[in-house]
Structures are given as C-alpha cells and as structure tokens.
Chain A
Amino acid sequence: MNALTSRRPETLHTSYAQSVSIFPTRGAKIGMALLAVVVVVLPFTLTDFWLAVINFAAIASIGAIGLNLLTGFTGQVSLGHAFFIGLGAYTAGYLGGNHGLPFVVWLPAAGILGGIVGLIVGPFALRLKGLYLAIVTLGLVFLGEHLFLNLRDVTGGPQGRSIPAPEVGGISFNAIGTFSRDQSFYLLAIPMLVLMALIAKNIVRSRTGRAFQAIRDREIAASIIGVNLFRYKVAAFVISSAYAAIGGAMLGSYLRFAAPSQFDLFLSIQYVAMIIIGGIGTVFGAILGAFFIALVPRLVEEFSDRLPFVATTATAEGITVFELNQIIFGALIIVFLVAEPYGCAGLWRRAKSYFKTWPFSY
C-alpha cells in the first residue's frame, strides 16, 4: 500500500530527544500555553449553546484520535468505529444504570470492554487488507446495529435507554454548584480530552507508534525490519476500539441517552471525515477535525435564515437545514480529499511554511 502521508520535517532537529518530544519547538510550547489559557477562560465567557458545541467536539475528538491511531498512523481503514462507540455508550448505561457502579469504574470498564471486543474482532478483520478491511468493518456496523436493536436487556431496544451522568466523589458533572449543565460537563470533557490526547501522543512517539507508522508506509518493508505485522495491527485496532468506547461512554453520559439508530454507518463516516478534514496521521489534526465537524452544522443553523434557498418552516419551499448540512458535509469530504489531502493540519503547515520562507514562497 502506498504511504498515506509523507511528512516533510518542518524543523531541524539536532537530537533524537528533540525529535520525539511532544512540543518540538518553542512556538509549539507558547501556542499550547495560550490555548490552555483560552480553554480555562471559555466556560465563563461563552453561552451554553457554544459550550455544548465544544463539549460534543471534545467527546468526538477522543474517538477521532483513536481512529487516527488506526487509520492515520497504522494505515488500516476502518468503517466500524460507530460500533465501538455504541459499545462504550451501552457499557456506561448498563454498568452505571443497571448496576449502579460509579463513573470511575464504568468509564475505564467501557474502554477495557472496547479493547477486548477489538481484540476478538481485530484478528479476523485484519487478515484483510485495504479495501477489504473497509468492507468487513462496514459489515460490522450493520451487525452491531442489529445487536443493539435486539439485546433489549442491555440496550433497551429501538427506543434506547438512559445513561447516568458522570459523578466523582459526590460531584455530578451535570451540575456543579451554580454552573449550568454544559459548563459542568466542560470541566470533565476537556481534561479527558487532554489526557487521551497525551496518551495518544506518547503511544505515537514510542516504539509502538513507530512500528505503526512503518506498517502504514510499507507493510513488507516493516516486516523485513522486524516489525511483527499481526501483533502491531491488532494492537492498533485494540487501542483504537478502546478510544472509541471511552468516547462513546462520554457521549452517552453527556446526552444521558443512547439509541441504536445513533450508531449507524453515518456516524462511522463522520469520524473518518473528522480525520480527513483535520489531518491524517496527527493527533492534533484529529482534534481539529472533530471541532470542525461539530461546528459546521451549528454555523449552518445559525446563518441558514439568511440564505434564500433554505426553508425555515416545515411548509416553505426549498431544502431543509438538515439536508443542507448533509450536503455540505458530503461536499467537504470530497473537497478536502481532492484539494487538500492533509486536511486542516496540512493547510496550517502550508501557511506556516509560506510565511517562513517569505519572500521566496512558491
């Protein structure tokens, strides 16, 4: 398989330690510090509407990072992410709701169960390469939806089930003091995202991560230099499934609800779209993509009344906001793939090198 990405080194590294460090340049460190300040200020300045967008985006980021580890770093295409997200949500509901276990138990449990199911499915799925892997994981989504619909004791069937709110030591992240629901959840979602992103970043820069990238760039070459293809592919699948399940558990406990129709093929496509739009093969790209995908529908809703061809009432002529959103979503995937295969992260890199080399940019 061809390389999914071929990255040019942007900065000159003078030591290995520098090359694998999390924030390789002073610019990156300053940028992160600024971002941290913004993140702290946001919940006190934004309205609940925008905080909800950020919460959804932060939750989606966790799943997207997981998918990027599998697809972006290891080069294995999966359309089965929605199944693992659903698995996480139902685990949260079953353990937290039916058995009354606390958040600190059911969240890791969701991740572990996701990993175990990934370990069971992975070896079968990963016998296949490229397109065939995408196909078999597509089958997984449909079979998963069928399971969710029929395991009524756990999932509540087609009507869905409720999922408890996250609660740690008497503090419910649904209502902390005088904070609104979205403000409270923000205090959980952002630290979780930072934690999961740091774990991913550390996986990527370790021996395991380099093995993943070797497999992505050329399988045969990787196996010749001693990478155990099977073991590392399954490892990537397990990690990615665990991430998806944790993201799913978070999603469920934020919505307080999960129904089988949420975890369909379209959700899988959304996650793949996130990593395409954000940037294949970077942790930060996955986060960017998740925010992008969460933000666009809200923006369209906000500004749709200014567009003449959009119907704002049920009876009016024109396409609905939902349809417009879907069309924009599909078009975004196509445009990014045709015009900017490295996504937002690639756009950013290009802009940076343009200004760095100015006035000799080309």
Chain B
Amino acid sequence: MTEFLQFVYQGVVLGAVYALIALGFVIVYKSSEVINFAHGELVLLGGSFVFLWRNQIGLPFAVALLLAIVIMAGVGLGIERVVLRRMVGRPVFAIVMITLGLAIVIRQIVTSVWGFADRHIDDPFGATVYDVGALSVTAASIWTLVATGLVLLGFFIFFRSSKSGVAMRAAAFDQEAALSLGISVRRMTAISWAIAGATATVAGVFIATFPKSLSPTVGFVALRAFPAAILGGLDSPGGAVIGGLAIGLIEVLTQAYQPSWLGNSFHVVAPYAVMVVVLMIRPYGLFGTREVERV
C-alpha cells in the first residue's frame, strides 16, 4: 500500500508538469486552432535558457528563471508573428507540418548550442529527501507541486477575471463577435503564444529537476503531455489539468506495475495508447467542445 501511495505521489508530481505543458497546447489551440507540435521543443528551449543564465552566466536562480520566462514569451510571440500569422486560413495539414518543421529546427538549434549531454540546472531545490509518514518526498517534488500549482492558479485567475483574460475567452469563442466589440483578436493570439512560451519555461525547469536532467530527449518527454491535452479536450484548460494528472498517474503506475506481456518500457507509449482509446470513445476528449459542421 505504501509503495502504491508512493507511486501515486510520483504520478501526481509528473502529472502536474504534464498539466502545465498541456496547458500550453490548449491555450494556443483555443486562440488560433493551431496544434503546436513544437511545444515540446519550447519546453526544451525554455529549460536551456534557464541553464544558460544560471549555470553558464551564474545569475541567481530566480533571476535566471525570470529572464528565461521573458525571453521565451518573446520566442512565442516571434513564432506567432513570423510564421503562424501567415498561415491563417490555410488547411490544418499545412499548420501541423509547419509546427513539426519548427520542432525540428528548434531541437537542432538547442543541440548545436548545448550538445547532447545531460545538463543539470543548478536549482536551489537540492536532492534532499523528507519522510512524510511512510512516503519519501524529495524537496524538488514539493517545489514542483507548489510552483506548477501557483502558475496554473495564476493562469486561471487571469483567464477568468482579468480584462485580457475575458477578451481572450471572447476571441476564442467567436472571433467575429469579439472583433465587433473592439477586441484585437491578433493581440489575443499573440498573448496566448507568449503565455505558452512562458509556461513552457517553467515546465522545462521542473521536468528536469532532480533526479532527472535536461537533454534533447526532453522534447519527446514533453510531447507525452500531448495525449494529456487530447484526453482533457483540446480546447479546455481545465481539461488539460485533469488530463495532465491522469496521464502522469497512468505513466508512473504503468511503469511500476506493467505486466511482461506488454513488452519493455510500455509506460513510454501508455499515454498514446490511452489517447487512442479515448479518441475512439469520445472524439473530442473528456471536456472538449464538439465540432458541428454546417452544410
């Protein structure tokens, strides 16, 4: 039982990071109907920027993180402005491919600057392990839960209550109606990309905390948050959080208890298997809106 609870805790921690990444997918999709397959690489790039400012330049961790967040918000804005704005009204297929192309370019830029080696961001969380009841809890995991929780909370307050947040929701709900009310849909799309870049940076730090580290494979790990976004429904931020936690739990529990007939390291593909099954039963995810086609 203790062992099981330990795995559940690990699953929740991993799920919190997945939730943060899935939120990035959802924000961008909601505002511009673009599935950003480069989001995993944004997570990698964000983490690498923190590494740059913290380890290579030697700034304090908080400053390094803030700087990286600002830069990554800028990167998000830049991608939207330079590439994706030109793709408005083009077939979905073209947009999927363009983000896949971006993913390849960003990953190679990261590897050519920082190489393939594992990098440890010199974070203040340390490798301390506390005993909470029968569970052993790392300091890093507590920080992960607190930080992702705060970022998610901040986002939902912004999205529900602030003027920009309400405008974003309006723009996502009906672009023409929003335009007629004087909301700049373009600006809202730009803001959503900036938020995606910023949250990707935070996710990039926490996906690489002790005992894990930053390497180019982080892009693929982050892509596993993609089933989370699908599970919750691509246009539902709340769904992204639930989907993220579910996928995190599924991954850790499969890793712990996988029967041998599923083959080695089935947990790596378990999120995708769940995603395929969910799509078969509920094609628009658990909390997504059904698309209605008018003749």
Contact = CB atoms under 8 A, between A and B. Distances in A.
Contacts of A91: none
A104 B98 CA distance: 40
- Which secondary structure characterizes the binding site on chain B? helix
B105 A338 contact: no
B101 A337 contact: yes
A323 interface: yes
Interface stretch (B151-159, B192-200, B270-278): B270-278
Nearest to A145: B269
B97 A333 contact: yes
Contacts of B87: 337-338
Contact of B86 (A75, A146, A272, A338): A338
Contacts of A272: 97, 100
Contact of B276 (A136, A327, A332): A136
A191 interface: no
Nearest to B276: A139
Contact of A1 (B92, B104, B280): B92
Interface in B232-270: 234, 263-264, 266, 268-269
Contacts of B94: 276, 337, 341
A330 B104 contact: yes
Given A128-B279, A132-B283, A136-B279, A330 B105 contact: yes
A220 B293 CA distance: 9
B35 interface: yes
Contact of B102 (A127, A140, A273, A334): A334
Given A77-B92, A331-B101, A337-B94, A146 B269 contact: yes
Given A1-B92, A131-B92, A134-B93, A334 B83 contact: yes
A337 B279 contact: no
A232 interface: no
Contacts of A79: 96
A150 interface: yes
Contact of A140 (B103, B112, B230, B276): B276
- Which secondary structure characterizes the binding site on chain A? helix
Contacts of B35: 131, 134-135
A124 interface: yes
Nearest to A76: B93
B35 to A, nearest CB: 6
A142 B93 contact: no
B133 interface: no
B105 A4 contact: no
A319 to B, nearest CB: 4
Nearest to A152: B263
Interface string A107-143: 0000000000000000010011111101110111011
A320 interface: yes
Contact of B92 (A124, A130, A139, A334): A130
Contacts of B102: 330, 334
Contacts of B276: 124, 136, 139-140, 143
Nearest to B33: A131
B163 interface: no
A326 B93 CA distance: 21
Interface string A1-43: 1101000000000000000000000000000000000000000
Nearest to B101: A333
Interface string B101-138: 11111011101100000000000000000000000000
A154 interface: no
A138 B102 CA distance: 17
B29 to A, nearest CB: 9
A330 B108 contact: yes
B120 to A, nearest CB: 23
Contact of A149 (B109, B264, B284): B264
Nearest to B111: A323
A71 interface: yes
A242 B272 CA distance: 24
30 contacts: A1-B92, A2-B89, A4-B93, A71-B93, A124-B276, A128-B283, A132-B284, A135-B35, A136-B276, A139-B273, A145-B269, A146-B268, A150-B264, A220-B293, A220-B295, A266-B104, A269-B97, A323-B112, A326-B105, A327-B112, A329-B104, A330-B101, A330-B108, A333-B97, A333-B104, A337-B87, A338-B83, A338-B87, A338-B98, A341-B90
